[in-house]
Amino acid sequence: MSIERNTQSFDNEEPEPKPQATPARLLPRAAKRLTQLGNKSILSEAQIASPGTILETFANPKPGHDYQIEFVFPEFTSLCPVTGQPDFATITVTYVPDRLCVEMKSLKLYYFAYRNKGIFYEGVVNTILDDLVATLKPRSMTVTGRFAVRGGTAGTITANYAAKPASASD
The CA-CA-CA angle for residues 129, 93, 75, to 5°, reads: 105
- 80 among known catalytic residues: yes
Q: Are 149 and 135 in contact, with CB atoms under 8 Å apart?
A: no
Count other Cβ atoms within 10 Å, centred on residue 4: 5
Exactly one of 11, 80, 98, 130 is catalytic; which is it? 80
Which amino acid, residue 138? Answer: P
DSSP string, 5-60: ------TTPPPPPPP-PPPGGGS-GGGGG-SSTTS-----HHHHHSGGGG--EEE-
Which amino acid, residue 48? Answer: I
In whole angstroms, what is the distance from residue 46 CA to residue 44 CA?
5
Exactly one of 11, 66, 87, 98 is catalytic; which is it? 87
Count other Cβ atoms within 10 Å, centred on residue 147: 20
Catalytic residues: 80, 87
